[in-house]
Amino acid sequence: MDITLTSLETEHSALLSKKIAAEIASQGGWMPFSRYMEMALYEPEMGYYSAGAHKLGAGGDFTTAPELSPLFGAAIVSTLLPVLEGLQAQGLATHILEFGAGTGKLAQSILTRLHDLGFTLDHYDIIEVSPDLSQRQEVRLSKLVLDLGLTTQCTWLSSLPKDFEGIILANEVIDAIPCDAILFQDGFWYWHGVAFEAGKLLWKRGKPVNQSLLPETLLTGNFSEGYVTELHSQANAWMTHIAKQLNTGLFLTFDYGFPESEYYHPQRLEGTLMAHHRHHAIQDPFYLPGLCDLTTHVEWAQIARNALKENVDDVFMTNQAAYLLDAGIGDIALEIGDASNPEIFLPISNALQKLLSEAEMGELFKAFAFSKNLQTLLPGYVLEDLPGLRGRNRL
């Protein structure tokens, strides 16, 4: 792997490594992996998402579905529109809130599609931890509002409002929430943390994990010596918080992952943790701290259970391909592109292939949703009546 760094990049990563090493020393020589991941991604002015690196798109470290095509956001509108119309019919403000909006392309495609369908959205709010990305979002959406003559108010918030009424979106957010790593040795599960020795960050075993923190699958399964996987307490707490704060409306997220039985499969020996740099997938999470994205796959079963504990109506999960096809992405592609003109339609077709193919994003990526008090907005409706969510529920 040939990665050439500038002197500033090298210095940036070295400074963050030094800060991480100092904190490890202050904690007695060992740090939980979740704290390392938090610093590597979110340390103010130094972490991957806190510093101003180019992250998304062809020149960044990874590409997301909204970056591939506006068709992704246009298809999502098929799911959102009945809920927005229900809010409007009840005399409520029509409200979308997006976590981690990237470059703003998903917001742009959603607002454009709503405008094309003649629907006026009142508010599009964003919660974004990256100052760099917030700035890029504001530039993009300010221009869109001006170009289309929208009356939508776009606002950047620091936290989710209490008793929220509307729609909450998150695309590839859960995978970047810090997780803990655990290690199976001598018949027990141990915290798999971080040390700094001989000038290098490295894995180091910690104390045994309290069994009350382990899912049943890890307590009863047959795992080989040295098996490594992840626990997602922060992601599950985030899901609980959202389900609690949503008063009326819909939550919809897209991310890569597996249900519990697949996630903790005995053959998944090294877990799902991965670093990304300039479209390279890197196994070593300690490679270039602050310059690499760190992600894990989502374990959807526990995410769903945490939502259900907060009295949501129902939960739903399917793969991205099934979701997009049911949401009508094929018809939208024919609507906006001329299928008889290869120059126009070939890029659209290529994007569809990446979004839908089992070998690309179609199977690994999942759509997960829940509603709360949906029938107050849409009498007689259940979650699985919404376009995109009418197929087989894989939970």
What pLDDT, in 10s, does the model give residues 189-217? 999 999 999 999 999 999 999 999 999 99
pLDDT band at 77 (very low <50, low <70, confident <90, very high): very high
Check residues 35 and 51 and name the one with the higher pLDDT. 35
pLDDT band at 280 (very low <50, low <70, confident <90, very high): confident
CA-CA distance, 107 to 13, in Å (whole number)? 32
User: Are 63 and 57 spatial neighbours (Cβ–Cβ below 8 Å)?
Assistant: yes
User: Are 291 and 277 spatial neighbours (Cβ–Cβ below 8 Å)?
Assistant: yes
Phi, psi of 262 (to 5 degrees): -85, -40
Listed residue (171, 101, 169) closest to 136, CA to CA:
101
Mention every residue, 6+ apart, whose C-beta is less than 8 A from residue 79.
250, 252, 327, 369, 386, 387, 388, 389
Check residues 344 and 229 and name the one with the higher pLDDT. 229
Average pLDDT over residues 66-88: 97
Q: What type of residue sits at position 168?
A: I
pLDDT beyond 50 at 22: yes
pLDDT by residue (tens digit) across 111-138? Answer: 999 999 999 999 999 999 999 899 999 9
Average pLDDT over residues 311-338: 95
pLDDT beyond 50 at 225: yes
User: Are 347 and 223 spatial neighbours (Cβ–Cβ below 8 Å)?
Assistant: no
In the chain, pLDDT over 70 holds for what percent of residues?
A: 96
Read out DSSP for 52-110? Answer: ----BSTTSSB--HHHH-HHHHHHHHHHHHHHHHHHHHTTPPPEEEEES-TTSHHHHHH
pTM given for the model: 0.94
Q: What type of residue sits at position 118?
A: G
Q: Which two tokens stand for residue 379?
A: 């009498």
pLDDT beyond 80 at 53: no
β-bridge pairing 164-171 and 95-99: parallel
Listed residue (35, 20, 22, 32) closest to 289, CA to CA:
20
pLDDT beyond 90 at 307: yes
Average pLDDT over residues 143-160: 97
Average pLDDT over residues 86-100: 98
Helices 342-356 and 70-89 pack at an angle, to 10 degrees, of 70
pLDDT of residue 347: 86
pLDDT of residue 62: 62
pLDDT of residue 345: 83
Listed residue (374, 380, 120) closest to 248, CA to CA:
374
Dihedral, CA atoms, 280, 285, 286, 290, nearest 10 degrees? 70
- The CATH label, of 3.40.50.12710, 3.40.50.720, 3.40.50.300, 3.90.550.10, for the domain at 65-177+233-385 is 3.40.50.12710
The secondary structure of 262-331, three-state, reads: HHCCCCCCECCCEEEECCEEECCCCCCCCCCEEECCEEHHHHHHHHHCCCCCEEEEEEHHHHHHHCCHHH
User: Are 215 and 224 spatial neighbours (Cβ–Cβ below 8 Å)?
Assistant: no
**Least confident stretch, 21-30, 334-343, 372-381:** 334-343
Mean pLDDT score across all residues of the chain = 94
pLDDT band at 57 (very low <50, low <70, confident <90, very high): very low
CA-CA distance, 32 to 181, in Å (whole number)? 8
